[in-house]
Structure 1
Amino acid sequence: MTDDLPPIEDWWPDLTIGARHELLREPTAELTPRTRQEIQTATGAEVGSDARLADDDVTYVHTQTEQVD
C-alpha cells in the first residue's frame, strides 16, 4: 500500500546502504521490516506492514543510484 509512506525525499537520504540495496533488488515488493523501521526512524511516521513504493518512488530510487568504477 503506497499511501502509508511519507515522501521518499524525506527518508531516502537517511537509509542505510543495506536498506537501499533491498529496495533496489526488489523495488515493487513489500518493504522489509528493516526498511520500514528505518523509514519510521527517519520520519517519525508509522509505516504499514504492507507498504510498497509507489511508481514515482521506484523512479526516484533508480535516479539516486551512483555507478562505481
Structure 2
Amino acid sequence: MRDDITYQVLVNDEGQYSLWPAHHDVPAGWSADGTTGTKDECSAHVDRVWTDMRPKSLRDAMS
C-alpha cells in the first residue's frame, strides 16, 4: 500500500472491510462505504467500525 494516494473503504455482503485505491473501480461484490482519505485515515475508520471480524453469515448462524 502506498502513502501518496487516496483510498476508499469498501465493504462486502459478509460485512468484511477493505481499503481500495479511490481511483480504481470498485470490484464486483464490494461497495464503497463512503469513507475516503489517506491509508491511515481509512484504516482508523475500519478499526472503529469493524469490531467483529466474523463474517455476517457466521454471526447470523450463531445468534
Q: What TM-score do you get using the length of structure 2 for normalisation? A: 0.33
Q: Which has the higher strand share?
A: 2
Q: What TM-score do you get using the length of structure 1 for normalisation? A: 0.31
Q: Which has the higher contact order (CA 8 A, sep 6+)?
A: 1
* Structure with max Cα Rg: 2
